[in-house]
Structure 1
Amino acid sequence: MASLVRRIQDYYNWTLTLTDPRSKGWLLVDSPWPTLFGISGYLLMVWLGPKFMKNRKPLKLNKLLVVYNLAMAVLNFYIFWQLATASLRLNYSIFCEPCRQVWTPNEMQIVKAVWWYYFSKLLEFSDTLFFILRKKDNQLSFLHIYHHSTMFGFWWIGVKWVPSGSTAMPAIVNSFIHVLMYTYYGLSAIGPHMNKYLWWKRYLTIIQLIQFAGALILGFNGLRIDCDFPLWMQYTLCGYMVSFLVLFGRFYVNEYIEDHKKRQKEKLLSNNNNVDTIKNKNVTLNGKKHE
């Protein structure tokens, strides 16, 4: 065991020689411990939170949710804008873009935006906290917990080792989708009268699935063309996207296909019951007329 721990430590020390110096010294970046503590604290909250709220009334947080969700939409738009504008000026390729350790203003704009993207994943732990405080335990699915906990860890790796190049593209797409997502949640928190404007929730999931499929295709393409980007990052991206496609795909089927079929079946049964009730009433009325 001591030998295994020593080898792991040696391997980690070797990886430190490959880190990107541009993000050195930035908040939460240098050591893995803040990120590991953050993920551990998040999982502890998921475990203990529902127990703490079990015998308590759910909190009404509508005003806070409106402010939080719209603020997160603004933050994600800022990240998207910073990444997109700098990438366009640098003429980044969507197929393969090496991570160059240069300190030009545009490259540093991308590195800083990737750090904000990583930090936003810590802020997104609040999504789960609000579910717990409102006793929406049905929202604490494996997909939700897996998504939130792993994104924070994976993007620490990104900002520490590869904070530019091909790393920028998935962050650009995902931050834009989060603008739409948090705008949706912010509007829905205003009140039920907003529901008529929120018909597009299903399409958010479709866009997310397209995002994961696109990232997987680009990841495989990077491996195929031998892109000058860390090979381990390409494989990690591909494996991660496969897991999201499976989990989000299953969510889509359960939420929008199976649930739709269930509602249609219930509606049909309800209509049949109404018809039978009307027939029974007519029989009773006709019987009374003959008396």
Structure 2
Amino acid sequence: MLQQISARVSEVSEFLMKGTDPRLKGYLLMGSPGNMSAILVTYIFFVLVAGPRFMANRKPFQLKEVMIVYNFTMVAMSIFIVYEFLMSGWATTYTWKCDPVDYSDSPQGLRMVRVAWLFLFSKFIELLDTVFFVLRKKPGQITFLHVFHHSFMPCTWWWGISFAPGGMGSFHAMVNSVVHIIMYFYYGLSAAGPRFQKFLWWKKYMTAIQLVQFVLVSLHVTQYYFMDSCDYQIPLFIHLIWMYGTFFFVLFSNFWYQAYIKGKRLPKLEASPNSRANGTTGAKASVSITNGISNGSSHRENGHVGKPKNY
């Protein structure tokens, strides 16, 4: 029975891998969807089952220094990813309209493949956001939205770059990396302590930045539906990106309305920048839910009050 199931899974995997970009052979995790799936299943199991059990009778780990290094490392990686996306097409040959995938072995085509893979790889690194929540015993910050986003993005992007590394469909990855520069920089400063509080005056714009991201992504792919013709090779990805951008825009807009218009999620003190990562409650937690992935240390832990994180 197990052999039959294994054989069937192998057949399905081989069928799905037909047509994938051969230029990705040799890249870490790109051999088959099995490795990617195993990581994500392990992630979900650890976050929801194994991790909480492991920490049940233990004190929270103090990870302030780790958080500082982690956040600023992600800033550096995001800056590099944005630069590579620009140099691979968006600031050179792309029209910002209907840009097909370059499947050639040209230097620019191969450069786009590399940065598309690096963006995917960064999504697996970001799984540590939730791992830090578990180790610091912040279960209130591990929301459905957070876990869904962190597991959904690596999976969809794995298939995305397997068939279409670059072109019109890579715009949202570049925009997302720009947002991550801002977000991880914010939380790096937040984790560094109260002496950096004066540099965090722009915390109230975090949710607005997220909303702008989803508007830009949705508007960019919406062009596709009004073009007389577009030779982007795999339209399915355009539809998925449009749905993804619209879905999260609605979620973030609802948060904005509840928190800032109705004021239901605002606490007496201002919400902390690393709310989800910080494990704070009330509006702090709500702010970070909106931002999907936060990881720095709490402003309260650092001696002051602070706010959210990202997608």
- The answer, yes or no, to whether TM exceeds 0.5 is yes
TM-score (norm 1): 0.81
Matched with 1:196 is: 198
Structure 1 residues 237 and 12: CA distance shift in structure 2, 3 A: farther
| Matched residue, 1:228 | 231
Residue 24 of structure 2 contacts residue 30 of structure 2 at CA under 8 Å; is this kept in 1?
A: yes
How far did 1:84 drift? 1.0
Partner residue of 1:57?
A: 59
Distance 1:239 1:257, change over 3 A: same
Give a deviation string over 1:187-230, Cα, whole Å, max 9, x none: 11111332332232332221221111221222222133242221
Shift of 1:239: 1.7
Q: CA deviation at 1:130?
A: 0.8
Aligned counterpart, 1:273: none
The letter of the residue matching 1:31 is S
| AA matched with 2:230 | C
Structure 1 residues 40 and 56: alpha-carbon distance in aligned structure 2, compared to 1, 3 A threshold: same
Task: Work out which of the two has the higher radius of gyration on C-alpha atoms and give 1 or 2.
Answer: 1
SS in 1 for 2:201: coil
| CA shift for structure 1 position 50 | 2.5
User: Is the CA contact 1:61–1:134 (under 8 Å) kept in the aligned structure 2?
Assistant: yes
Equivalence for 1:20: 21
1:79-121 residue CA offsets vs partner (Å, 9 max, x unmatched): 1111112224542122210112111111211110110000000
Distance 1:260 1:199 in 2: 22
Q: Which residue of 2 aligns with 1:170?
A: 172
List alignment gaps of at least 5 residues for structure 2. Answer: 1-5, 269-311
**CA 1:251–1:132 in structure 2 vs 1: closer, same or farther (change >3 Å)?**
farther
Q: Give 1:174 deviation, angstroms.
A: 0.9
Distance 1:29 1:261 in 2: 42
Aligned residues: 261
The structure whose RCO (Cα within 8 Å, separation 6+) is larger is 1
Task: Look up the equivalent residue of 1:244 and give its one-letter code.
Answer: F
Give the structure 2 partner of residue 95 of structure 1. 97
Separation in 2 of the partners of 1:122 and 1:252?
A: 28
Please give the alpha-carbon distance, in whole angstroms, between the structure 2 residues aligned to 1:201 and 1:253: 17
Q: Given the superposition, is the C-alpha separation of residues 238 and 98 from structure 1 closer, same or farther in structure 2, using an over 3 Å criterion?
A: same
Alpha carbons of structure 1 residues 158 and 52: separation in structure 2 relative to 1, 3 Å: same
After superposition, the CA RMSD in angstroms is 2.5
* Identity fraction in percent: 37
Conserved 8 A contact 2:116-2:165: yes
Q: Evaluate the alpha carbon distance shift between residue 255 and residue 194 of structure 1 in structure 2; reply closer, same or farther with a 3 A threshold.
A: farther
* Residue number in structure 2 paired with 1:32: 33
- The answer to whether the 8 Å contact 1:90/1:106 transfers is no
1:243 counterpart = 2:244: no
State the partner residue of 2:151: 149
Residue of 145, 159, 162 corresponding to 1:160: 162
Instruction: State the Cα distance separating 1:71 from its structure 2 match.
Output: 0.5
CA distance in structure 1 between the partners assigned to 2:97 and 2:230 by the alignment: 8
How does the TM-score come out when normalised to structure 2? Answer: 0.76
**Normalized per residue, which structure has more helix?**
1
Please, which runs of 5 or more residues in structure 1 have no aligned partner? 265-291
CA distance in 2, matches of 1:44, 1:8: 21
Q: Check the 8 A contact 1:114/1:159 in 2, yes or no.
A: yes
Distance 1:144 1:32, change over 3 A: same
